[in-house]
Structure 1
Amino acid sequence: MSADRIALKGLRARGRHGVLPAERELGQEFVVDATLFLDTAPAAAGDDLAKTVHYGELAEALVEVVEGEPVKLIETLAERLADVCLASELVRKVEVSVHKPAAPIPLVFDDVVVTIERSRG
């Protein structure tokens, strides 16, 4: 079994996720990193896009989730994003990180990140 990966890092989208009413009303930027684990050998052997994940289409689908229905927790958002990544039968495992750099914390900080790993089956 191969350890091939396709990674999409730093995908930015505006969402209305959070517990506080202001977060739901005003929204903020979220940053998504997704690493998909799959066998890329068949795609490479035939130079065939149909045998891999189209990362442009994946990016659009992930942004739709971030811009879509609000949730309270970025853990929930990460779960929904992982489900999108695993929608392709080619993907065996995914690691998704959701960054919330403008989280409402009254202290100096760089980032808040939730990272989850999910596997098929």
Structure 2
Amino acid sequence: MTVENATVSTHLSERLARADRITLTGVGCVGYHGVLDSEKQTGQPFFVDITMFTDFARAAETDDVAHTVNYAEVAECIRDVVTGESLDLIETLAERIASSVLERFSVMALELTVHKPKAPIDVTFSDVSVTIFRENT
């Protein structure tokens, strides 16, 4: 990493530490993701938690949804990806959701968790999840 890149990375990390956050928890819908054919045919519930790092000072000042991240639209975006193309891995699903949100909404970064509570595992468990952090470039 060059000195310039390290400086930019440090600056962004400092901004994110102080950033406002909007969090959606438990956005759920049925998707057809998994390695097994049965998962792709039957479908199963997926739940997504997302924290978006942003600045909503202007929205608070104006009381106008146009100046913030519309979380209803984010929820619809998540639903569209989960119910869309069938994928093998929830890691890929998480990446697709993150990319879609970063492309459509004005956020500095996001942390996203995809939960797959009905994964076909032969031992008792309560949840399987993956979590990613992505920055808007």
Judged with a 3 Å threshold, the aligned counterparts in structure 2 of structure 1 residues 46 and 82 are, in CA distance, closer, same or farther, namely: same
Match of 1:45 in 2: 61
CA distance in structure 1 between the partners assigned to 2:130 and 2:58 by the alignment:
32
CA contact (8 A) 2:108 2:136 kept: yes
CA distance in structure 2 between the partners assigned to 1:84 and 1:43 by the alignment:
23
> What SS does the aligned partner of 1:19 have?
coil
TM-score, normalised via structure 1 length: 0.96
CA distance in structure 1 between the partners assigned to 2:20 and 2:104 by the alignment:
15
| Aligned-residue CA RMSD (Å) | 1.0
CA distance in structure 2 between the partners assigned to 1:59 and 1:82 by the alignment:
12
Return structure 1 stretches of 4+ with deviation > 6 angstroms: none
Q: Which has the larger radius of gyration?
A: 2
Q: Percent identity?
A: 51
Q: Does 1:75 align with 2:77?
A: no
Matched AA of 2:28: R
Greater shift, 62-71 or 81-90, is seen at: 81-90
TM-score, normalised via structure 2 length: 0.85
Query: Number of paired residues?
Result: 121
Match of 1:36 in 2: 52
- Unpaired segments of 5 or more residues in structure 2? 1-14
- Which of 113, 121, 126 is matched with 1:110 structurally? 126
> What SS does the aligned partner of 1:29 have?
strand
- Unpaired segments of 5 or more residues in structure 1? none
Q: By percentage of residues, which structure has more helix?
A: 2
CA distance in structure 2 between the partners assigned to 1:26 and 1:79 by the alignment:
23
CA distance in structure 1 between the partners assigned to 2:25 and 2:105 by the alignment:
21
Judged with a 3 Å threshold, the aligned counterparts in structure 2 of structure 1 residues 32 and 72 are, in CA distance, closer, same or farther, namely: same
